[in-house]
A and B are shown apart, each in its own frame.
Chain A
């Protein structure tokens, strides 16, 4: 089932749903003829689309609105904040080609601060599907949530069988070697499209004898605090992997979480550190900035060496002091 097939199915059973776009039809190109006047294309006018979505929501609708993530979130941010955020209206904001997925478009199209901005809006949910299956399972839940939600769109094929169904606020756990343990060496926290790289890195590191857990966060707001704390308590190193700026994304979220509880954790962030990524075809762009599974693996092992991890007794459950770069 595709995203638009799921959306069409939901519309047939829920009169509240209307579909809007700022002339971005990639994921919904067959809907106009299927849903008629419930398909509202405003043209390249993101601000007007968001304001109009608020007006529709005031009348009881649940608008599912589409534009490229960078224009939906950045161009129309103040409209999202004012017209959707302040009254907390149930508008589903679907942002296309977020993060690395803008590949060769350049910095104008790089939505890599979208999560930082959206999570600053009170009651705004953030859903980052890792593939089409997450997307299809999550969409009806966003619509039923009754709150505004940012959907960081990704509809790629699943790279591995999921271990759990989507539940908003719950992370999906891929245990090390397929079995839950309490003495993992590394836990990789990630979301969206990069789950594939994380799982591949898990495979590589496990072949080297390490115990590696991967968390598919799925929603960054709300965040699965229990899963994050479990990872921190039961692994030597926590890695945050995201195609987002270091500021405002998952690394920020867990840092704030640890600080709130007065905890110090050993964390390796892999993110964009204050610079746009090099525009290129997707795989080349990922490689240039060090986000392929092999490069992620190397960063993790390098860090473990710096920690003296391979020289130590590797006692489980140990929490090393605040991380340091050599």
Chain B
């Protein structure tokens, strides 16, 4: 699999044509996503996890880490690496799963979820190789990303900073503060990605504090804005290779996704934000992920917020 070609594309901008994914690349992405979703489901017992949001951003993270980000397990401290910041934080099981699949961390560590012997818990932290910064409090990492992007520019670097935001997180005023600052500083090396799964903790976003029309909001703040299906690898490929072209503004990709994607029995449900399933339910969900019958779920959602 030659991912280097796409990396080459962005670094010297010799190639203006965006190449679509080859069938074997697409197949690889799909099987990687499936394995990451398995990890997430397995982390939804023994204390549970934020399963819905994790499943919605799985395809995004899988695409970014396997096709786009110029980072590898050997280069987690390389100042020229690309940075990914997970601002919404609670979807970290998807990141743990991705990092485990790609060799940043040992897969066995996922079994230490919520154990004091490791650092694999409900929000990201830097004790896990590949995780750039901790989060958990919403509305922070776009600002942190601005600082990283500013320093890269100060040093004349070519690397980029990607920040994944939740759509519920857009309620936070600090996001809109940071959007202004990034545009003012012309941070063309900063790319925000909104995991637009249409839910926040307890409710659909549009029922609480409507975000739509969302793209024009970012555009009005001076950000180059794209909107795609966040589960469609071809669209992800097209839009993110586009982010390598020269612009003078920060960019945002609104990725429309489905909370709980891959598990029809919990998809797009407000009450499946944070769940601690039984082992039996986890087995059923793993089967459901692979196309078996819908799971019979009786565990209640945990009211953690």
| Residues in A lying within 8 Å of B, measured CB to CB | 18, 37-38, 40, 42-43, 45, 47-61, 63, 78-79, 82-83, 86-87
User: Which of B17-25, B144-152, B258-266, B274-282 is the interface stretch?
Assistant: B144-152
Q: Which chain B residues lie closer than 8 Å to A86 at the CB level?
A: 134
The CA-CA distance from A50 to B126 in the complex, in Å, is 19
Most chain A beta carbons < 10 A, residue from B139, B150, B154, B184 = B150
Q: Is B174 part of the binding interface, using a Cβ–Cβ cutoff of 8 Å?
A: yes
Q: How far is the CA of A79 from the CA of B140 in the complex (A)?
A: 7
With A51-B147, A78-B137, A79-B143 known as contacts, the answer to whether A59 contacts B181 (CB < 8 A) is no
A57 nearest CB across to chain B (Å): 7
Closest 6 CB pairs of A and B: A55-B147, A51-B143, A52-B147, A59-B151, A55-B148, A56-B147
A55 close to B144 (CB less than 8 A): yes
B119 to chain A, nearest CB (A): 13
Secondary structure of the B contact surface, majority rule: helix
Quick check: B174 and A56 within 8 Å, CB to CB?
Answer: no
With a cutoff of 8 Å between Cβ atoms, the chain A residues found around residue B150 in the complex are 40, 52, 55-56
CA distance A123 to B150 in the complex (A): 26
Chain B contacts for A87, CB-based, 8 A: 126, 133-134
Taking A54-B133, A57-B147, A82-B140 as known contacts, 15 extra A-B pairs with beta carbons closer than 8 A to each other, sorted by chain A number, are A45-B178, A47-B177, A48-B177, A51-B144, A54-B143, A54-B144, A58-B132, A58-B148, A59-B147, A59-B148, A59-B155, A63-B147, A79-B174, A83-B144, A87-B126
CB-based contact B181/A54 at 8 Å? no
Q: Give chain B residues whose Cβ lies under 8 Å from the Cβ of A48.
A: 143, 146, 174, 177-178, 181
Minimum distance in angstroms from A138 CB to a CB of chain B: 25
- Chain B residue, CB-CB nearest to A37: B154
Interface centre among A42, A48, A61, A78, by most chain B C-beta atoms within 10 angstroms, is A48
Please, which residues of chain B bring their CB within 8 A of the CB of A51?
140-144, 146-147, 174, 178
Q: Of residues 110 to 137 in B, which have CB atoms within 8 Å of A's CB atoms?
A: 126, 132-134, 136-137
Q: How far is the CA of A83 from the CA of B138 in the complex (A)?
A: 12
Query: Which residue, of A51, A54, A57, has the highest number of chain B Cβ atoms within 10 A?
Result: A51
Q: Please indicate the chain A residues that have their CB under 8 angstroms from the CB of B148 in the complex.
A: 55-56, 58-59
Closest to B136 in A: A82
- Considering only residues 174-192 of chain B, those with a C-beta below 8 Å from chain A are 174, 177-178, 180-181, 184-185
A55 touches B126 (CB 8 A): no
Tell which of B140, B151, B184 touches A83, judged by Cβ atoms closer than 8 Å: B140
Q: Does B79 contact A (CB under 8 A)?
A: yes
Measured between C-beta atoms, what is the minimum distance from A65 to chain B in Å?
Answer: 10
B181 touches A56 (CB 8 A): no
Residue of B nearest to A18 (CB): B154
Q: Among A54, A55, A78, point to the contact of B149 (Cβ < 8 A).
A: A55
A56, B149: Cα distance in complex, Å: 8
Check if B144 sits within 8 Å of A52, measured CB to CB: yes
Can you spell out 27 A-B residue pairs with CB atoms less than 8 angstroms apart? A37-B153, A38-B154, A40-B185, A45-B177, A45-B180, A45-B181, A47-B139, A47-B177, A48-B146, A48-B181, A51-B141, A51-B143, A51-B174, A51-B178, A52-B143, A52-B146, A55-B147, A55-B149, A55-B150, A57-B147, A58-B132, A58-B144, A59-B152, A63-B147, A79-B140, A83-B143, A86-B134
